[in-house]
Structure 1
């Protein structure tokens, strides 16, 4: 029996060669991004269903869309979109020069990314085209939130 402050492990999922950096649950499956540069799809019992390969460096950020697209950002500044069920790369997003630190979606059309290069980029989520670059932070962008016409960002420069 556990107390309210304790967790009891019920299942351990193993398979990555290096540490796991990000985790998402989507449509009955778990997705884990790792320092081994792979994205893994797991069923709830702990079986690895698929290993997505394509990043050159470790996966640093991930977000899933209601439409079944997974977006992953990497240590080399690249972003990729993957079709979760078809298990293929859809698009390659190139523009950041350093580690992707945060990803957020706004509707079906726009993906926002923050990076260690201090920039925020707005992308066409369906094509991978960079639509706009926002500059203003003097340190790493640590988070992004979008509401209506406003983009909020947090940074290691201690500002929002």
Structure 2
């Protein structure tokens, strides 16, 4: 099997494999040591934006307005998540072990929860086992560009072109708080040690207390939009 026929939009390393997605509408699995393409996942009808390998599952989001779950070894779609009115940009996953042990919810959430963000200004929470939409998170007035989950508190943080970050309870759908000091789109998020770091088109990174929404520091050094950030060993890059 050959390579992608258009540009690669995202890559994830998982054990000794690399998963890539592309504007050619496919996802590919590669042997990192040999460079050989092992599998091709076909089904999306437009650009695949993001992929996420978790809990022995492969999840993907696309401009075709869907997210999908795949059986990794069989190259087959196991679930389609349809409901967004525009392209799906970003993904996060909460495994069953991280969800509350509630007999009323156990059957519905036995496959975990998938959270998706879209240019339709919403995020959605999906039951992976059934493919049903569990909650729609409404409040942003611009596209949802990025999201991150705090699995211990069942909280999703979403960043948007409306220059805000919002915190949500993914079980109830309740909006918990709004982070409002950026002057441009919020492009990337990182959550660590109860601190939320946000990178923006306003050329700054801000650090917030995740539990209260209080801003504790601004990093203003960049000359252009901050498109990615990573916290490592006490430093944010």
Same-fold call, TM > 0.5?
A: yes
Please name the residue that 2:158 is paired with. 153
Q: Which consecutive segments of 4 or more residues in structure 1 shift more than 6 A?
A: none
Q: Give the match's secondary structure for 1:57.
A: coil
Of the three residues 136, 141, 144, the one matched with 2:147 is 144
Of the three residues 81, 89, 114, the one matched with 2:117 is 114
Spell out, residue by residue over 1:75-129, the C-alpha distance to the aligned partner (whole angstroms, 9 max, x if none): 0211110111232211111011111111001123111000011100000122211
Indicate the structure whose relative CO is greater, using CA pairs within 8 Å and at least 6 residues apart.
1
Please name the residue that 1:96 is paired with. 84
Alignment of 1:52-131 (within 5 A): 52-65=41-54, 67-108=55-96, 109-131=112-134
What is the Cα deviation at residue 74 of structure 1?
0.6
Cα distance in 1, alignment partners of residues 131 and 45 from structure 2 = 18
Cα distance in 2, alignment partners of residues 128 and 27 from structure 1 = 27
| 1:90–1:105 Cα change, 3 Å | same
* Gap regions ≥5 residues in structure 1: 1-13
Cα distance in 2, alignment partners of residues 53 and 146 from structure 1 = 28
Asked if 2 retains the 8 angstrom alpha-carbon contact of 1:68 and 1:85, the reply is: no
TM-score by length of 1: 0.86
Please name the residue that 2:19 is paired with. 31
Cα distance in 2, alignment partners of residues 111 and 129 from structure 1 = 10
Cα distance in 1, alignment partners of residues 41 and 156 from structure 2 = 31
* Gap regions ≥5 residues in structure 2: 97-111, 166-237
TM-score by length of 2: 0.59
What is the Cα deviation at residue 151 of structure 1?
2.1
Aligned residues: 146
Cα distance in 2, alignment partners of residues 50 and 151 from structure 1 = 32
Cα distance in 2, alignment partners of residues 31 and 127 from structure 1 = 25
